[in-house]
Amino acid sequence: MTQLTGLPDLGRPLDTLPGAAYQARDRLGLGVLLPSVLTLEPLPEGGVALLVTLLREGLKASGRIEAGFAVGTPLTEAGEAAATNGTPLLLSAAEPLRGVLEVSARFGTPGAALAPPVALGPDTLTTTRVVAELPADAAVLAARLVRDGTVPVDAALRLTFQAVAPTLPLRATVDPQALLATLTQRFGPGAAVPFDRLATALDEAVFGAPSQPDRAAALALRLRPAVSRPEPVARPLHRLLEQVPAAALTLDLADPTAVDVDQALTLDLDAAARALAASDPAHHVREVDAPAPPTGRTTVTFAANLPAPVAGLALLLADLRVPPSATRPQEVTASVPLTAPGGVTSTTITLAPGERLKGEVRLRAVLDGTGELEGPWRPAHTTLLTLAPDAFPVPLTVVRATRALTALAVAEVRTAGGTTLGRVDAAGPVLAVPVTANAPPATITVQPLGLGQPVQVPVDRRRIELDPATLPGFGTHLARLRHAPVSGPLTVQWRPEGGEAEPQTVRLDADRPQADIRWTATSPFQPGVLWRVGPADWSAPVAPRDFLVIDVDPPILVDGVELRPDPDRPGSWTYVPPGPFLDHPNAISLIDAGPASFLQVTSRIDLPDGRRDAIRRGLGGGIDIHPAEVRVTRVAVETKSPDGVWTAVAEGTSSGIPPWTTALSASLDGDRRTAARAALGGTAGWMALVAELTVAGRPVRRTRDIAALIDTPHD
């Protein structure tokens, strides 16, 4: 896996699908869709997608327009199955890095910007809202259009994604400083240039005219960051830098490279008009009459443009402070809870007559388990104060689940201590998680509604898009079946976990001791593979990983010891050391010394040498056997008291290497000496040798009676 894995490969477009779709890099059977639809989105907390407010304060009239926007893919469900060239294809929505939204009016002066361009970060890329003030005549006209079922706004959005640039068998060495001089002469100093024109100019400057479109695009995607920067507008424009250092930059267009690529979206006016006509116009127009305020009284409106809901948010407040001025000696402060639909609340403050608002505003939040937190102060120069996510006291990680996921599973966001912060499901597919400085990283547990195992996803970035196609385990997997031919040919059946796929058969023998199998997991909750040899029972699901090897040979039982072929050493077999044993016939002694006795025991975990040689001879053919890797964590001698309680009288660790010997000694008196004498006299149930091991990552505890070990022949 590399940092390119899963990114859309611009050199492999999926032309059979609507919109912009590409093959995912290094993920067979997975396509990536770039969102290409911009629609109106209902505002949080039960609001509507579009709201025009007419505000009258005595003889003064004004207005406000609020709109929510969302991006989508051309298919109705992210992760919906499709096909290309007859091959089944699973689709995933691409995750944008950043964006710029511009909203303009379709009333008054059509095309006039309603608000400055809105820069979108990771937490507002898929859904955002815009609030703009309107003069009285524009507000009345906008309300009339809404009542007639006409959408009064238009919008354009530029999203920036990370993708893999197209590759070509070309290399070039360029000097960015010389390139910038050529571009400046062609377009002018600091010119804002569309991508296609910039690509043509770069291609001609590097390779000469005439320009080739495919070569120009591949070159410009790699080279444009060296000579330009993206403009903060919805139309993809790149402004030439003022200067760059002189340097030799080598470009290998055959090398797959991650680049930033822009996607321009426009509002689907037809869909927005249909949605507007289908709802009650009264829900989209609000008229507010305020009493005529005395001179100096000013209405201030606070709007929180936050992803909703915020996990654990008990209370959200906005604070305003205006410092004293030459005509007003006292500071003006206000604090309001943001509880109205959409987080919009108004309050009235008293300034000096004719004074314009010039102060600071911030958010305060009360979080469950954390208490009250204060956000940074931001400038407040208008009576409409929109607070973006960066005004929240702590960073927010936005977790969003697609409809394809919520139809299959629910997701719970939990702290490192196991406390549930929130839930993402069909009823609430979005959750914002506060990330406090002292809290360990949270995790997301995606629990399937049907069969399968839950999937864990770390909360490690500012925006997490949950979709079946992006969860670990989804997609194409590879495994290698291996067989030691000494046990004869085998017929192995295998099938993907879940579903009703017919089993496939692989024959392994001396000429073909291994075979690769490939399967596609359409559910991340059942990503594994099952196998069996002949008519035996199916194995438990084997979870996929980067390189999965499955040894299919059944074990051989020789002299009570289970042997398996060593996949790393042909012609060699391994066994799990079955100890503890006494190291040799005289490895235990009890020496009386007055009122106490001195016990000495030497143990081993591996087989005695003679028994191992006998097993090797039983296999024949010069085959070698050796113990598997184990870790001995504790070896102890325990005795039993007359009331049945076992107590360790000596304990230690092993030598760390085969045969894992341990020398133990202890001074015994009273009941412990009596128990030791009984055991050495051949009476079972009074003294035991205990070993605690880690075998294949699992803890194992073994107990052997000392009396039985004394009677066991030592080869």
Report d(CA 223, CA 215) in Å as an integer. 12
Residue 673 pLDDT exceeds 60:
yes
Instruction: Please give the DSSP secondary-structure letter assigned to residue 467.
Output: -
428 touches 399 (CB < 8 A): no
Residue 293 pLDDT exceeds 60:
no
Q: Which amino acid type is present at position 399? A: V
**What string of DSSP letters covers 243-259?**
------EEEETTS--EE
Rounded mean pLDDT, 87-94? 70
pTM of the model: 0.57
3-state secondary structure of 672: helix
Quick: pLDDT tens for 367-422: 887 788 999 999 999 888 988 888 999 988 889 888 888 989 999 988 877 778 88
pLDDT of residue 635: 93
Between 83 and 219, the higher pLDDT residue: 219
pLDDT of residue 371: 83
Quick: pLDDT tens for 585-596: 888 999 988 888
Rounded mean pLDDT, 598-604? 93
Residue 600 CB neighbours (<10 A)? 15
Between 377 and 710, the higher pLDDT residue: 377
Rounded mean pLDDT, 460-478? 86
Residue 81 pLDDT exceeds 60:
no
Q: Which of 709, 691, 711, 710 is nearest to 701 (CA)?
A: 691
How is the beta sheet containing 192-194 ordered, strand by strand? 192-194, 237-240, 228-230
Rounded mean pLDDT, 327-331? 87
pLDDT of residue 479: 92
304 touches 363 (CB < 8 A): yes
3-state secondary structure of 424: strand
Q: The tokens of 66 are what?
A: 């609020």
268 touches 38 (CB < 8 A): yes
pLDDT of residue 593: 82
Quick: pLDDT tens for 232-268: 898 889 999 998 888 888 889 999 999 999 988 888 8
Report d(CA 409, CA 417) in Å as an integer. 23
Report d(CA 541, CA 453) in Å as an integer. 11
Sign of the CA dihedral with 23 first, then 29, 30, and 36 last: positive
pLDDT of residue 141: 86
Share of the chain above pLDDT 70, in %: 92
Share of the chain above pLDDT 90, in %: 27
Residue 209 pLDDT exceeds 90:
no
Rounded mean pLDDT, 188-213? 90
Residue 690 CB neighbours (<10 A)? 18
Quick: pLDDT tens for 602-635: 999 998 888 888 888 777 666 788 888 888 989 9
3-state SS string for 43-103: CCCCCCCEEEEEEEECCEEEEEEEEEEEEECCCCCCCCEEEECCEEEEEEECCCCEEEEEE
Residue 87 pLDDT exceeds 70:
no
Q: The tokens of 121 are what?
A: 């970060």
Report d(CA 99, CA 713) in Å as an integer. 78
How many residues can be counted in the chain?
A: 715
Between 348 and 437, the higher pLDDT residue: 348
How is the beta sheet containing 572-575 ordered, strand by strand? 556-558, 561-565, 572-575, 624-627
What band does 321 get if pLDDT is binned at 50, 70 and 90?
very high
pLDDT of residue 83: 53
Q: The tokens of 208 are what?
A: 């000469």
Rounded mean pLDDT, 208-221? 88
Side-chain half-sphere CA neighbours of 459 within 13 A = 28
What band does 703 get if pLDDT is binned at 50, 70 and 90?
very high
Report d(CA 93, CA 510) in Å as an integer. 46
3-state secondary structure of 634: strand
Residue 47 pLDDT exceeds 80:
no
pLDDT of residue 84: 53
pLDDT of residue 580: 92
Rounded mean pLDDT, 506-517? 89
pLDDT of residue 601: 93
pLDDT of residue 76: 46
97 touches 126 (CB < 8 A): no
Query: Could you give phi then psi for residue 610, rounded to 5 degrees?
Result: -65, -40
pLDDT of residue 575: 86
Rounded mean pLDDT, 665-670? 91
Query: Could you give phi then psi for residue 33, rounded to 5 degrees?
Result: -100, 135
Sign of the CA dihedral with 609 first, then 638, 646, and 699 last: negative
Residue 340 pLDDT exceeds 60:
no
Rounded mean pLDDT, 317-338? 91
Residue 689 pLDDT exceeds 70:
yes
Q: What is the mean pLDDT of the chain?
A: 84
